Chain A
Amino acid sequence: MDALLQFLFSGLTVGAVYALVALGFTLIYNASDVVNFAQGEFVMLGGMITVFAYQAGVPLLLAATLAILITAALGVALNKLAIEPARGAPVVSLIIITIGASILIRGATQLIFDKQLHRFPAFSGDDPIRVMGATILPQSLWVLGGALAVFAVLWVFFSRTLTGKAVLATANNRVAAQLVGINTGWIMTLSFGLSAAIGAFAGVLVTPITLVSYDVGVTLALKGFAAAMLGGMGTPKGALVGGLLLGCLEALTAGYLSSQYKEAVAFIVILGTLFVMPQGLFGAKTTERV
C-alpha cells in the first residue's frame, strides 16, 4: 500500500513538471497553431538565469522574477525577429523556425553561462513530508501548486477575458480577426511573451528537483509535448491532466512492471491516443471545411 502511494507521489512530482511545460505550449498554439519547440529552452532559461543571478548574490525571489522577465523579453524578441518576418509562411515553416531558435538559444546559453549542471535550494527545504509511509518533497507541492495556478490563470484568460478570446479568434481566422478590429500582431507578441514567462516560471519551480544545464530543454519539451498531445493540444485542462497522467503512468510502470519499460510505455500510450483519438483527451473535435 505504501509502495503504491510512493509511486503515485513520484508520478505527481514528475507529472507536475510535465504539466507545467505542457501548459507553456498552450498560448502560442492557440494564437497561431504553431507548436513552439523552443518552449523547453524557455524552461531551461528560467532555471539557468535564476541559478546565476542567485549565485551572484541576488535574493532567490528577485532572481526568479528577473529570470521570468528576461525570458519573456526573449520570447517577444523571438516573435519580432524570427516569426513576424516569416508571417505569410505555412505553420510547418514556423515550427521549423522555432526548432532553429531552440538550437540558437542552447548554443548561446552554453557560451554565456556554462555547460555544468546547477541547482538552487528548494523553496521550503528538503525535509520530506510523510504520508502513510510514503514521502513527498515540499518542492513537489510547489510544482504541483504552480501547475494548478498557471492552469487556473489560463482558463480564466481564455474563457473570461476579451484578450483571451482575441487570441483564440486570431488562431481561428487571422483575416476575420483583423476585420473585427483585433490587433493580431500584438496578440502574437503577447502570446510569445506570456508563453516564455510561463516556461521560465516552470523552470524556476522545477530546477530544485530536476536540476538544470544548458541542454535539459530538449527532453523537457519532448515530455511536455507528449503530455499536451495526450491531454489535447491547446487546452489548459488537457495539459494539466495529460502531464499528471503521463507522470503517474511512468511511475506505476517503473514500480510494478520494470523500469526498463518506463519510457516505452509512456510513448505507447501516446501512440495509442493518436491512433484512437488524435485530438487528445480534452481537445475539441475539429472539422476542416473543404
Chain B
Amino acid sequence: MLKTTTAIVTLAALAGLTGAAQAEIRLGASLSATGGAAFLGDPEAKTIEMLVEQMNEAGGIDGEEIALTLYDDGGDPNKARTFATRLVEDDEVVAIIGGSTTGTTMSILSVAESEGIPFISLAGAISIIDPVRDYVFKTPHTDRMACEKIFTDMQAQGITKVGMISGTDGFGASMQAQCKEVAGDYGVEIVADETYGPQDADMTPQLTRIRNTDGVQAVLNPGFGQGPAIVTRNVAQLGFDVPLYQSHGVASNAFIELAGADAAEGVRLPGTALLIADSLSEDDPQYDVVTSYTTAYRDAYGQETSTFGGYAHDAFALMVDAMKRSSDPEDPQAIRDALEETNGLVGTTGTYSFSPEDHLGLDLSAFRMLEVKDGGWQPVE
C-alpha cells in the first residue's frame, strides 16, 4: 500500500515537473567540454551557458525562458549519438547546438535528421552541409575557405611555389587535402608536402627538407595545438626567411604567446573579427556583436575569447533569432523554417544568410587576413 502511494506521489511530482517545463523553450547541446577536443568544446560550453543565462535574465524569448540541457560528449562520437538521442527523446528539446568536432557532429546529425530537430553544428568539415540536409546548419567556415583565403593572399603577393607542412591530426590532414585540391585555382603549386605528429617536439628536419626544395617562396602550416607554435619557432631557429602562413586553427593570442612574439612576427593567417576585437573600428559592422561578446566573456570567466567560443555564440544567436521570427518557438519544424530564412545576421565569425541551397551562409569575406605585428594580431590591408 505504502509503495503504491509513493509511486503515485512520485508520478504526480513528475507530472508537475513536466507541467512547469511546458512554459520553457528547451534547447539541447552536446559539446566536447573535456577530452582531446576540450580546447574547442570548453569555450563553446562556457559561451552557451553564459548566453542562456544572459537571455533569461533579459526576460527570455517572448517571455519564455530557455531551459538548456548541456551534455559533455568528451569528443567521442558514440557518446554524442547517445546524448543526441537522449536530448530528443528524454529531454524533448526543440533544437540542438553542438558537435564540437566533425566526428561528433556526424553522430548528432543523423539523429537530428531522422527526428526532425534543427541542429547547428560547430565543426569545420564541408561534408556537414554539402550536400544540404534539411535540419542541419553550421557556423564555422570550412577549411576549404581558409585555403582559398590564404591562396588569394599569396596570389596578391606573387607567390606561386609553396611548401606545406601539416599536422597528421584530423584538422591538419583535412585542411592539407583541401588546400592541395584548390591550390591550382590560384596558380599556386605545392612543391613540398611534409607532415608531423600532433605531439612532436621538433620539426626542423621537415623544414630543412622544405628549405632545400627549389624555389619555395612561402610555407603553409595547417594544424592546431602545439604543432604550429613549434613549427613557427623552428622556422625562426633555422633562419628560414620566407612568409609563414598558419591556419585559422591557431587563430588566438595564445598562439603568439606559445610561439614567442619574436618568432611569430610576420606570421599570417585567416582569422575572424574576434581576434582583433580590441582594435576593431567602431563603424565596423561586427563591432557591436564582437565587443559585447568579448566583454561579457571576460567578465564571466576572466579568460580571452577564442574563435571556437565565437562559433557557439553565433550558433546561439542564429537559433534565438530564428525562434523569435518563427510562428511557434516550441515547434522544431517552425524553427527550422525560420532558420533557413535567416538573412544578414551579424555574428562574430561573419554575416550569415541561409538559403535552401546554403546552410553555411558565409563567404570568403567573413575571413580577415591577419598578421602578427609587434606581438599582436593586425589586419592586413
Given contacts A13-B202, A259-B195, A260-B195, contact A215 B254 (CB under 8 A): no
- Of the 9-residue stretches A31-39, A92-100, A158-166, A206-214, which lies at the interface with chain B? A206-214
Nearest CB to that of B227 among chain A residues?
A211
A116 near B39 (CB under 8 angstroms)?
yes
A137 near B237 (CB under 8 angstroms)?
yes
The verdict on A251 contacting chain B, using a C-beta distance below 8 Å, is yes
What CA separation (Å) do A117 and B263 show in the bound complex?
17
* B residues near A220, Cβ cutoff 8 Å: 199
What CA separation (Å) do A25 and B258 show in the bound complex?
29
B239 near A135 (CB under 8 angstroms)?
yes
A255-278: which have CB < 8 Å to B?
A: 255, 259-260, 262-263
Q: What mask results when residues 170 to 201 of chain B are scored 1 for a CB within 8 Å of chain A, else 0?
A: 00000000000000000000000011110111
- Of the 9-residue stretches A2-10, A149-157, A167-175, which lies at the interface with chain B? A2-10
Min CB distance B126 to A, Å, is 24
* A residues near B260, Cβ cutoff 8 Å: 126
The verdict on A80 contacting chain B, using a C-beta distance below 8 Å, is no
* B residues near A206, Cβ cutoff 8 Å: 201
B258 near A119 (CB under 8 angstroms)?
yes
* B residues near A118, Cβ cutoff 8 Å: 258
* B residues near A213, Cβ cutoff 8 Å: 226
B262 near A126 (CB under 8 angstroms)?
yes
What CA separation (Å) do A7 and B211 show in the bound complex?
13
A117 near B226 (CB under 8 angstroms)?
yes
B209 near A255 (CB under 8 angstroms)?
yes
* B residues near A3, Cβ cutoff 8 Å: 208-209, 212
Min CB distance B253 to A, Å, is 11
The verdict on A287 contacting chain B, using a C-beta distance below 8 Å, is no
A251 near B254 (CB under 8 angstroms)?
no
A126 near B263 (CB under 8 angstroms)?
yes
What CA separation (Å) do A13 and B229 show in the bound complex?
17
Sorting the interface of chain A by its residue count into under 10, 10 to 19, 20 to 34 or 35 or more gives 35 or more
The verdict on B63 contacting chain A, using a C-beta distance below 8 Å, is no
Q: What mask results when residues 82 to 99 of chain A are scored 1 for a CB within 8 Å of chain B, else 0?
A: 000000000000000000
Nearest CB to that of A216 among chain B residues?
B199
Q: What mask results when residues 196 to 221 of chain A are scored 1 for a CB within 8 Å of chain B, else 0?
A: 00000000001001110101100110
The verdict on A110 contacting chain B, using a C-beta distance below 8 Å, is yes
* A residues near B209, Cβ cutoff 8 Å: 3, 254-255, 259
Given contacts A17-B201, A255-B209, contact A117 B262 (CB under 8 A): no
* A residues near B236, Cβ cutoff 8 Å: 126
Min CB distance B230 to A, Å, is 7
What CA separation (Å) do A260 and B193 show in the bound complex?
10
The verdict on B42 contacting chain A, using a C-beta distance below 8 Å, is yes
What CA separation (Å) do A3 and B225 show in the bound complex?
27
Checking B204, B230, B262 against A211 with a beta-carbon cut-off of 8 angstroms, the contacting residue is: B230
**Given contact pairs A13-B202, A117-B225, A260-B195, a sample of 13 additional A-B residue pairs in the complex whose CB atoms are under 8 Å apart:** A3-B208, A116-B254, A119-B257, A119-B258, A126-B236, A210-B199, A210-B226, A210-B230, A211-B226, A254-B209, A255-B205, A255-B208, A262-B197
Could you list some 30 contacts between A and B, CB below 8 A?
A3-B209, A6-B205, A6-B208, A13-B202, A14-B200, A14-B201, A110-B38, A117-B39, A117-B229, A117-B258, A119-B229, A119-B258, A126-B237, A126-B262, A135-B204, A135-B238, A210-B201, A213-B226, A251-B202, A251-B204, A251-B205, A254-B194, A254-B196, A255-B206, A259-B194, A259-B195, A259-B206, A260-B195, A262-B197, A263-B197
